[in-house]
């Protein structure tokens, strides 16, 4: 402000000039000096305050009806004045006394502010804006768009009206308001806030911009918001509010059409798909809230981007608080869209403090239980819809198996897997698997790998398949991780079939079957000989070599030693650079395979089996999707072998 302007101030104003407290001054400095790309939040803050003021008077008037006898209808009006380049927001809420103006607009009572300030100091440019948006600097956000703000206010039931005025820099003044200023109020009570708009924010001098911003941020505020000065609005009996005034989620389910639900989903998410599940409910009891949540059909592109946050909107008594509260939803439900409207949370604390509120924690868990329950219902009422959901979001949901032990059982209930039962064509639940288990089967068998096609044909499955033992196929990276935490399902341990000893000996269903796995006595010595010779040749590459119970058609396969990391897990860990070592695998051989029998006989006769031993290991590696150590040697051996055979 120029010196000349300063001297123009009235005597009265100068007398009452008061400094901001230190916190406010610092905050205002940040607000004014940050470069903003998105100013819109200021209007949300002003309207939220106005709606608050209406709600408070509404409550007070229950005990003291005379407070609103001049006009029992609450409303908020907002309008521009192009000539004076101002935007005004007027409410006929509770209003503020002189003391309250000083207290509320001159100090920051919010407990989170100190922490916010710390973060602000470090943040730059856009990040600062994000912080402001995240915590809401409330009333002061208006200094992003205004170089001067006048607040005229008259407390409901009081005679005097006051003018608070500040440029957001040198402090503020308070004096009694004059007739012209009082005329800004809507009737006898409430507050009129007039912003002198900065040049760079002149877009707010357009009606469309105001309307659009109000709709975007405050559509579901229960107090009607009108475009125009109160006197004009009062003249038009049929003036229409900008906002819809009735929050969709507060209406009874029976009164909402499926189109309305879908439109609201699209409005919230900005997506074009239809939700696969809509979950609308009111929680009553210890905590009270209403939630309207949707599961999309399409997976957002950034579902697995670690920086993706949940975007469920938090409302408190119909007032939008934030859509960036990380603590509101579990990260494994980050695909859920919608709103949660709490009846219990306080409105007058910063969003930062709010996110650690115990009520938020309770809502988070209640919502998770509800969503999991609804997904379970969906899985039974709409199998195809659920399968589509599972393909898109199953991997994210399974993160909950290690992230939230208290929801593990409910998550396992909705988990779907492919298995040998339908040869990887149809999903199965763990419940169904357990029902199909053999009488003396203790374990839930699984194999994990990169994709269904490759693990479906794994040699390790052969022996289980032929014994009628079902094997689950795990193909999501997350599977290898949750298996470290979830050791069993209903007391049945998960057991990898590519690791350690399987002990399938007891599962024999017929005489012929049995014979397939028994090594004829006369071959026993030859096979043992052969294994000893192989072990010597391959000692640098394998942990050990043994006769397999897993194989029926293939001559060899690899498995991880009992105490080691499972084979696919080791690959996953290596890709994520969480694992350096390299475990030597166990090479299992099929003693009943023609090739093995012939090689064993040949070995016993004293023939050289060096090339054959290497080739067997190489093929076991190839089918496992591993690379062959020495490709040149491999092709040489292969050619030699083939030419000998011809
Ligand atoms: P918050 O709303 O989080 O408390 P604000 O900075 O938005 O923080 O507002 C500070 C305080 O100023 C409010 O708590 C309220 O007491 C008062 N206030 C702001 N605007 C109004 C209004 N339109 N009517 C009545 N009181 C208001
Ligand atoms: Mg506020």
**pLDDT tens digits, one per residue of 150-161:** 999 999 999 999
Q: Which residues contact 532 (CB under 8 A, 6 or more apart)?
A: none
Reported confidence tier of residue 513, pLDDT bands at 50, 70, 90? low
User: Is residue 88 lining ligand 1, measured as CB closer than 6 Å?
Assistant: no
Report helix, strand or coil for 227.
strand
Distances (CA, A) of 302 to 100, 306, 334, 411, 588: 46, 8, 10, 22, 42
Reported confidence tier of residue 353, pLDDT bands at 50, 70, 90? confident
- Is residue 42 within 8 A of residue 144, CB to CB? The reply is yes
Residue of the CA atom closest to atom 18 of ligand 1: 49
Range of lowest pLDDT (298-312, 380-394, 465-479, 573-587): 298-312
Highest mean pLDDT among 239-248, 573-582, 606-615: 606-615
User: Is residue 316 lining ligand 1, measured as CB closer than 6 Å?
Assistant: no
> How confident is the model over 339-363, as a mean pLDDT?
86
pLDDT score of 393 more than 80? yes
Q: Which of 246, 359, 368, 356 minimizes the C-alpha distance to 312?
A: 368
List pLDDT tens digits, range 521-573: 567 888 999 999 999 999 999 999 999 988 989 999 999 998 888 988 888 88
Residue 47: half-sphere exposure toward Cβ, Cα within 13 Å: 34
Which ligand 1 atom is at minimum distance from the Cα of 190? 24
> How confident is the model over 479-502, as a mean pLDDT?
93
- Give the count of beta carbons closer than 10 Å to the beta carbon of residue 619: 18
- Is residue 289 within 8 A of residue 283, CB to CB? The reply is yes
Give percent above pLDDT 70 in the chain.
87
pLDDT of residue 1: 44
Which ligand 1 atom is at minimum distance from the Cα of 350? 3
Q: Which of 542, 529, 527, 549 minimizes the C-alpha distance to 595?
A: 527
Mutation pick for ligand 1 pocket among 52, 55, 149 (CB with most ligand atoms within 8 Å)? 52
Distances (CA, A) of 120 to 27, 137, 167: 9, 12, 21
Range of lowest pLDDT (39-53, 371-385, 620-634): 39-53
User: Is residue 549 lining ligand 1, measured as CB closer than 6 Å?
Assistant: no
| Rounded distance from Cα 73 to ligand 1 centre (Å) | 21
- Is residue 109 within 8 A of residue 128, CB to CB? The reply is no
pLDDT score of 351 more than 90? no
In order of their start, the domains of the chain are: 12-117+125-235 (3.30.565.10), 248-389 (3.30.230.80), 511-645 (1.20.120.790)
User: Is residue 191 lining ligand 1, measured as CB closer than 6 Å?
Assistant: yes
Give percent above pLDDT 90 in the chain.
56
Range of lowest pLDDT (305-309, 547-551, 554-558, 591-595): 305-309
| Rounded distance from Cα 106 to ligand 1 centre (Å) | 11
What distance in Å separates the CA atoms of residue 44 and residue 335, rounded to the nearest whole number? Answer: 26
What token pair was written down for 522? 């006369």
First to last CA, the chain: 100
Tell me, letter by letter, the H, E, C secondary structure of 331-346: HHHCCCEEEEEECCCC
What distance in Å separates the CA atoms of residue 581 and residue 562, rounded to the nearest whole number? Answer: 16
pLDDT score of 176 more than 60? yes
What token pair was written down for 292? 């309207």
DSSP β-bridge partners for residue 587: 545, 558
pLDDT score of 517 more than 60? no
List pLDDT tens digits, range 450-469: 889 889 989 999 999 989 99
Residue of the CA atom closest to atom 11 of ligand 1: 104
Cα dihedral sign, 318-323-326-331 = positive
Mean pLDDT of the chain: 86
User: Is residue 161 lining ligand 1, measured as CB closer than 6 Å?
Assistant: no
> How confident is the model over 138-160, as a mean pLDDT?
93
Reported confidence tier of residue 63, pLDDT bands at 50, 70, 90? confident
Range of lowest pLDDT (86-90, 121-125, 334-338, 564-568): 121-125
User: Is residue 168 lining ligand 1, measured as CB closer than 6 Å?
Assistant: no
Tell me, letter by letter, the H, E, C secondary structure of 4-36: HHHHHCCHHHHHHCECCCHHHHHHHHHHHHCCC
What distance in Å separates the CA atoms of residue 210 and residue 169, rounded to the nearest whole number? Answer: 26
What distance in Å separates the CA atoms of residue 385 and residue 515, rounded to the nearest whole number? Answer: 46
| Rounded distance from Cα 192 to ligand 2 centre (Å) | 15
Distances (CA, A) of 569 to 444, 471, 572: 18, 17, 5
Measured from the alpha carbon of residue 151, the closest ligand is: 1
What token pair was written down for 434? 């357990």
pLDDT of residue 196: 98
User: Is residue 348 lining ligand 1, measured as CB closer than 6 Å?
Assistant: yes
What token pair was written down for 288? 């009270």
| Rounded distance from Cα 225 to ligand 2 centre (Å) | 16
pLDDT score of 361 more than 70? yes
Reported confidence tier of residue 120, pLDDT bands at 50, 70, 90? low
What distance in Å separates the CA atoms of residue 14 and residue 11, rounded to the nearest whole number? Answer: 5
Tokens 């009265």 map to which residue? 12
Reported confidence tier of residue 128, pLDDT bands at 50, 70, 90? low
pLDDT of residue 110: 47
């Amino acid at each position: 402000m120029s010196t000349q302007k300063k001297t123009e101030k009235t005597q009265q104003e100068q007398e009452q000039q008061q400094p901001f407290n230190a916190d406010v001054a610092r905050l205002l400095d940040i607000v004014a000096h940050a470069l903003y790309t998105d100013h819109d939040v200021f209007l949300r803050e002003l309207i939220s305050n106005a709606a608050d003021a209406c709600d408070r008077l509404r409550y007070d008037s229950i005990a003291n009806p005379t407070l609103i006898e001049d006009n029992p209808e609450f409303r908020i009006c907002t309008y521009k004045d192009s000539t004076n380049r101002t935007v005004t927001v007027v409410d006929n809420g509770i209003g503020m006394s002189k003391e309250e103006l000083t207290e509320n607009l001159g100090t920051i009572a919010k407990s989170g502010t100190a922490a916010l300030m710390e973060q602000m100091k470090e943040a730059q440019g856009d990040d600062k804006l994000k912080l402001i948006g995240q915590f809401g600097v409330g009333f002061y956000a208006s200094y992003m768009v205004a170089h001067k703000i006048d607040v005229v206010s008259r407390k409901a039931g009081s005679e005097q009206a006051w003018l608070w005025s500040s440029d957001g820099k040198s402090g503020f003044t308070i004096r009694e308001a004059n007739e012209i200023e009082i005329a800004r109020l809507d009737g006898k009570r409430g507050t009129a806030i007039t912003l002198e708009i900065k040049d760079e924010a002149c877009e707010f001098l357009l009606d469309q911009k105001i309307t659009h911003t109000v709709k975007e941020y405050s559509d579901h505020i229960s107090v009607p918001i009108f475009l125009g000065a109160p006197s004009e609005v009062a003249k038009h009996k049929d003036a229409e509010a900008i906002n819809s005034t009735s929050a969709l989620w507060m209406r009874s389910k029976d009164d909402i059409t499926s189109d309305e639900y879908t439109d609201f989903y699209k409005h919230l998410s900005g997506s074009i798909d239809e939700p696969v599940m809509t979950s609308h409910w009111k929680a009553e009891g210890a905590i009270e809230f209403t939630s309207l949540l949707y599961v999309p059909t399409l997976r957002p592109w950034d579902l697995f981007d670690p920086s993706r946050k949940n975007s469920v909107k938090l409302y408190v008594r119909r007032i939008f608080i934030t859509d960036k509260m990380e603590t509101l939803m579990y990260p494994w439900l980050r695909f859920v869209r919608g709103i949660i409207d709490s009846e219990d949370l306080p409105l007058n604390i910063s969003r930062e403090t709010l996110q650690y509120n115990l009520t938020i924690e309770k809502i988070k868990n209640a919502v998770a239980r509800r969503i999991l329950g609804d997904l379970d219902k969906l899985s039974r009422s709409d199998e195809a819809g659920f399968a589509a959901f599972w393909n898109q979001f199953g991997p994210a949901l399974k993160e909950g198996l290690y992230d939230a032990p208290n929801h593990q059982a409910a998550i396992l209930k909705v988990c779907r897997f492919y298995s040998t039962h339908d040869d990887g064509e149809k999903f199965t639940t763990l419940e169904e698997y357990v029902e199909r288990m053999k009488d003396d089967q203790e374990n839930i068998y699984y194999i994990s790998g990169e994709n269904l096609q490759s693990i479906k044909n794994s040699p390790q499955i052969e022996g289980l398949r032929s014994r009628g033992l079902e094997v689950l196929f795990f193909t999501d990276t997350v599977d290898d991780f949750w298996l470290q935490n979830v050791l069993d399902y209903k007391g049945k341990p998960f057991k990898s079939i590519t690791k350690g000893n399987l002990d399938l000996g007891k599962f024999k269903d017929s005489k012929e079957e049995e014979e397939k796995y028994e090594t004829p006595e006369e071959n026993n010595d030859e096979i043992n000989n052969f294994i000893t010779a192989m072990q010597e040749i391959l000692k640098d590459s394998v942990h050990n070599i043994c006769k397999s119970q897993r194989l029926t058609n293939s001559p060899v396969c690899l498995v991880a030693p009992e105490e080691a990391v499972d084979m696919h897990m080791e690959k996953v860990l290596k890709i994520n650079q969480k694992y350096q070592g390299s475990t030597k695998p166990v090479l299992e051989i099929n003693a009943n395979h023609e090739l093995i029998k012939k090689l064993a006989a040949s070995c016993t006769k004293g023939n050289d089996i060096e090339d054959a031993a290497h080739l067997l290991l190489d093929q076991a590696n190839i089918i496992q999707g591993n690379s062959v150590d020495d490709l040149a040697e491999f092709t040489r051996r292969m050619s030699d072998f083939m030419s000998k055979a011809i």
